[in-house]
Amino acid sequence: MSDTSPDNPPQPDEPSPPAVESAAPAKKAPARKRTPAKAAKAAAAPVAAEAEQTGTAAAATDDASSGDAAASTPQAVDAPASDAGTWAAPDAVAPSPEPAAEATPTPATTAPAATAAAPAATAAPVATAAVPPQTYPADMARFSPLPPPPPGFLQTRWQGPDYAGGPAAWIAALVGGLATAIALPLSRPGIGWLLVGLVMTGAVWHAARFGPKPDTRIERWVRVGWAVLAVALLAVGTFRDAGWLYVFCVLGALACGSLAVAGGHSVRAVVVGALALPLAFFRSIPWLAKGASSWQKTREKSGTAGRIGLSLIVTVVLLVVFGALFASADPAFSKLLGDILPEINARAIFRGVLYTVIGGLITAGAIFTVLAPPDLSGLERPATRRIGRIEVALPLGGLVLLFGAFVVVQLRFFFGDKKYIQDTSGLTFSEYAVQGFGQLLVVTMLTLVVIGLVSRWASKETPQDRVLLRTLLGALVLLSMVIVGSAVWRMWLYQNTYGWTRERLFFGSVELYLGGVLILIAIAGWKLRATWFPRAAVAGFAGLLLFLGAANPEHFIAEQNVERFQKIDFWYLRALGPDAAPALAQLPEPYRSCALSWMIRDLDANPDQWYSWNLSRAQADDLLDKIEVMPAGRACNESENLNNSRK
């Protein structure tokens, strides 16, 4: 009970009516800070608002349950009165302030405190509804973050050298690039291809001394053999002018050179090894760039490299100035310089820069590979998955029966003559030969694929498995060899009847090569395992290209067609190159002049430089100087009239 009453008036030292007046602002201030709009605005804050609402609700509950405890705190009444015009944070009410001077509040102060607790109790649910709790469905747990992709072949098997391409690599790449820019006759076969190949081989051989060595002595000789094959294929362009053949020789040289620096035994390893050099062409770019950056940071302060570069520039300038003066003073010396050096113009400069970059990157790629060859051991392991006897016997047995039935039914067609084929099949001889050859060529290639897959995955654990596999594969190989012989015989008959062409000769040779591969399969099938087979197949194709280069295919084509010159197309004869010049020179006039007209025009328009010298072109040029020919237009018109008169 309060001591203030009507019977007991207040003493002079006690609070008087101003205490009652101070209760009025206390009643109004909590109402302002509990306004729903204010509460909603406070609830919009992410974390602080939630703490404020929790503290406010707790304070309101305590005030409602114990009004006297709330009223006994003078600061709860005096604080709003002293700062009635300023809004206070709700969490300022929750903590209990330290008691000030002891005073006993009047009942009038209890009523405002209880009144202020009511808005607080109603404001808390509004704030909670404004920010609903964040709940996630149970299905969201299934969407876990994706794991990082596994490292690829380059990261695990072929990381490259541990060190960057330093000055030695740059010098070797520059030597290969300059050799390419100076001596490579890209538009035609020539001795420059061989010279560039020898320069690159020497640079790579020098770098190979610092790289890992092959495991065995036999493997070292195999690598040397691949390099020799690559150089031999490039040498074909020195003796033969057949551009269509030399394209295959250059591609074969690239594959053999790649195998020389990368290696490989199994089918997959040989394929990856043959493609290693083209891939290293691009990987050598950041390798050289990193080496140049490191070299720039660690070079000596004496500036030796700068002096060397300046000396080279001065040397080039002096040679150009004095060489131009000597060339203008002596016509013979000018002709000598013109034969040695290419013509200097914008096109030649662009060509030189492009060839230097390409040749340099090829050399750098080969050095990059030989210093850190790819690890192909994982590609040479035998297959872990095996197929049983049923999976082997049914497909192979079906193919053997099909091949046998085809061989028996078509036996007379395989080796039949022209009249028998026309009478029995209703096809012309050309349709029969061309259609049959293409289909049988596809059959041979698919058969090789089937044999390779079965040899890898078929089970060989028990003697019964091995006998079954040898029997089925042996029968399939023998029947396939009969089909290969039929295809080659068809093409031979067709070419003897209608003439020889480059395409017919090349694809007939490819069919013979596939027959040789089947023979290798038959040899390897005896032990059902032959690690030498993939490399032997690649080397066999390189040997086929070398054989064609030695046989001079265009000369052979011209010889075969000269015998039936009255039945052949002279437009095709004129497309033959200088390799065919000795055979075409045997034709009578006006056929000879017509057949040699394009060759004469090309040799006169494009004389050889020292780097593009070719034996066939040189011999054809000497031969044509000794032959008197008619004008091309008149000779071809007379040849066409003579052929038309004989029909």
pLDDT digits (tens, 9 = 90+) for 370-384: 998 988 877 766 666
Q: Residue 111: name the closest of 170, 68, 61 by CA.
A: 68
Using DSSP, state whether 5 is helix, strand or coil. Answer: strand
Structural contact between residues 473 and 525, judged by C-beta atoms closer than 8 angstroms? yes
pLDDT average, residue stretch 379-398: 79
Give percent of the chain above pLDDT 90: 21
pLDDT average, residue stretch 442-458: 85
pLDDT digits (tens, 9 = 90+) for 50-75: 444 444 444 444 444 444 433 344 34
pLDDT of residue 317: 74
Task: Pick the more confident residue, 550 or 58.
Answer: 550
Q: The pTM is what?
A: 0.70
Pull the structure tokens for residue 233: 């294929």
What is the average pLDDT value for the chain, to the nearest integer? 75
Please report which confidence band the pLDDT of residue 298 belongs to, taking 50, 70 and 90 as the band edges.
low
Structural contact between residues 23 and 59, judged by C-beta atoms closer than 8 angstroms? no
| Cα atoms in the 13 Å half-sphere on the side-chain side of 401 | 6
pLDDT average, residue stretch 596-601: 90
* Residue showing tokens 């309101």: 60
Task: Pick the more confident residue, 646 or 227.
Answer: 227
Domain ranges of the chain: 18-130, 163-298+310-380, 388-450+463-495+502-524
pLDDT of residue 618: 93
Pull the structure tokens for residue 267: 């089918």
H/E element, 565? none
Please report which confidence band the pLDDT of residue 295 belongs to, taking 50, 70 and 90 as the band edges.
confident
Most confident of 153-162, 185-194, 297-306, 481-490: 185-194
Please report which confidence band the pLDDT of residue 118 belongs to, taking 50, 70 and 90 as the band edges.
very low
Radius of gyration for the chain, computed over Cα atoms and rounded to the nearest angstrom: 47
pLDDT of residue 363: 94
pLDDT of residue 498: 74
Structural contact between residues 628 and 607, judged by C-beta atoms closer than 8 angstroms? no
Question: Helix-strand-coil percent breakdown of the chain, rounded to 5?
Answer: 75, 0, 25
Terminal Cα distance for the chain, rounded: 146
pLDDT of residue 92: 41
Crossing angle (nearest 10°) for helices 597-605 and 632-646 = 160
How far apart, in whole angstroms, are the C-alpha atoms of residue 494 and residue 20? Answer: 129
**What residues does 387 pair with on adjacent strands?**
458
pLDDT of residue 369: 93
Please report which confidence band the pLDDT of residue 419 belongs to, taking 50, 70 and 90 as the band edges.
low
Q: Residue 29: name the closest of 77, 92, 98, 99 by CA.
A: 77
Using DSSP, state whether 387 is helix, strand or coil. Answer: strand
Classify each residue of 537-549 as buried b or exposed e, where b means 16 or more C-beta atoms within 10 Å of its C-beta.
bbbebbbbbbebb
pLDDT of residue 340: 65
Residue 228 contacts by C-beta under 8 Å, 6 or more apart in sequence? none
Three-state SS annotation for 482-541 = HHHHHHHHHHHHHHHHHCCCHHHHHHHHHHHHHHHHHHHHHHHCCCCCCCCHHHHHHHHH
- Is residue 481 scored above 80 in pLDDT? yes
Please report which confidence band the pLDDT of residue 588 belongs to, taking 50, 70 and 90 as the band edges.
confident
How far apart, in whole angstroms, are the C-alpha atoms of residue 220 and residue 214? Answer: 6
- Is residue 579 scored above 80 in pLDDT? yes
Residue 282 contacts by C-beta under 8 Å, 6 or more apart in sequence? 361, 365
Task: Pick the more confident residue, 167 or 355.
Answer: 355
- Is residue 131 scored above 50 in pLDDT? yes
| Cα atoms in the 13 Å half-sphere on the side-chain side of 321 | 6
